Amino acid sequence: MGLTKKTTILFPEDLYNHLKKVARSRRKSVGDLIRSACEKEYGLVSTDESMAAVESLGNLNLPAPSMEQMKAEIIAEKLMPDHI
């Protein structure tokens, strides 16, 4: 990823010191740490990463009811929702 935009962020001293320690322990720069956190928080992932996640979920082989049973459950819930 080419870095093409610049911003200035002001941090409280204690937070910045904490970020420096975390970055040092991960052998990254503070900038790398912040970019990574922003990508995770705001969902910037590549299509390849998204497709890999979908494929991984599909490979879990979890039990699931038939499509007919799921539709029946949805309709039943709409007709008679649980009241708490």
The C-alpha atoms of residue 31 and residue 17 are separated, in whole angstroms, by 13
| Biggest alpha carbon–alpha carbon distance for the chain | 58
What is the chain's pLDDT, residue by residue, as a tens digit (84 residues)? 588 899 999 999 999 999 999 999 999 999 999 998 988 888 777 788 888 888 888 888 888 888 999 999 899 888 876 654
Backbone torsion region of residue 82, taken as left when φ is above 0, otherwise alpha when ψ lies between -120 and 50, otherwise beta: beta
The C-alpha atoms of residue 84 and residue 78 are separated, in whole angstroms, by 15
Domain boundaries defined on the chain: 13-79
CB 19 within 8 A of CB 30: yes
- The pLDDT score that the predictor gives to residue 1 is 59
Length of the chain: 84
Quote the pTM value: 0.51
- The pLDDT score that the predictor gives to residue 84 is 47
- The pLDDT score that the predictor gives to residue 79 is 80
